[in-house]
């Protein structure tokens, strides 16, 4: 969108309208919208002595799996390539949001695999402000993982079911929405690189 006008405020909260195409000859501080946040129906409410910015409840962005390295696959080479999958789960108990992503290209241990793919679109209203992840190796009797919210909007655990045959590789239970881009998360027997 190309702006025509920009609303500005001085130290006394007096409102001005600036020409968006002509740079003013006095200093202006421009406050941008965080790239991680999609403001939905954002409103500004003005009172006698202050401006209150009210943002929407929904924030959305994509959580990206940059890369993954598996230290063990749980079965060893005689059983062929590992069938790795990763489960992401949200910490909002109301919505029970989760996604499962199969990683067929991850077929050797101790090798970094660039994935560069979206795990899910993170809408905090539904997913919560934290997520947890589990990495497992698939056995052909269905996907055998469980999701348990340990602390609402803080910690969620993804593990294999006690009666399931899938091999458990590792998990992490609490990654915040505003985590640093490009952090490598250490799991029990795997390392994953996440970004946004």
Phi and psi angles of residue 32, each rounded to the nearest 5 degrees, phi first: -95, 165
Count CA atoms closer than 13 A to 127's CA, side-chain side. Answer: 26
Superfamily in which the 60-195 domain is placed by CATH = C2 domain (2.60.40.150)
Strands 5-9 and 15-19: antiparallel
d(CA 134, CA 169): 8
Q: What is the pLDDT of residue 2?
A: 63
- Contact residues for 57 (Cβ-Cβ < 8 A; gap 6+): 40, 124, 125
Phi and psi angles of residue 154, each rounded to the nearest 5 degrees, phi first: -135, -50
For the chain, the structural domain boundaries read 5-54, 60-195
* pTM, two decimal places: 0.66
Q: What is the pLDDT of residue 44?
A: 40
Chain-centroid distance of CA 166 in Å reads 25
Q: What is the pLDDT of residue 76?
A: 57
The conformation of residue 127, written as its DSSP 8-state character, comes to H
pLDDT at 192 over 70: no
Phi and psi angles of residue 110, each rounded to the nearest 5 degrees, phi first: 60, 30
- Contact residues for 168 (Cβ-Cβ < 8 A; gap 6+): 74, 134, 136, 159, 160, 188
pLDDT in tens, 77-105: 545 677 889 999 999 999 999 999 998 88
């Amino acid at each position: 969108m190309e702006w025509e006008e920009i609303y500005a405020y001085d130290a006394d909260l007096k409102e001005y309208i600036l020409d968006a195409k002509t740079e003013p000859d006095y200093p202006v501080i421009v406050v941008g919208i965080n790239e991680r946040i999609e403001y939905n129906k954002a409103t500004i409410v003005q009172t006698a002595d202050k401006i209150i910015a009210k943002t929407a409840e929904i924030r959305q962005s994509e959580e990206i799996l940059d890369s993954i390295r598996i230290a063990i696959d749980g079965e060893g080479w005689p059983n062929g390539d590992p069938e790795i999958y990763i489960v992401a789960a949200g910490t909002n108990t109301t919505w029970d949001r989760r996604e499962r992503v199969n990683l067929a290209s991850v077929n050797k241990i101790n090798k970094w695999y660039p994935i560069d793919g979206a795990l899910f679109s993170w809408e905090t209203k539904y997913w919560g402000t934290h997520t947890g992840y589990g990495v497992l190796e698939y056995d052909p009797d269905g996907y055998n993982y469980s999701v348990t919210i340990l602390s609402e909007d803080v910690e969620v655990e993804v593990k294999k079911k006690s009666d399931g045959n899938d091999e458990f590789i590792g998990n992490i239970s609490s990654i915040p929405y505003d985590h640093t881009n490009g952090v490598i998360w250490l799991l029990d027997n795997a390392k994953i690189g996440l970004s946004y």
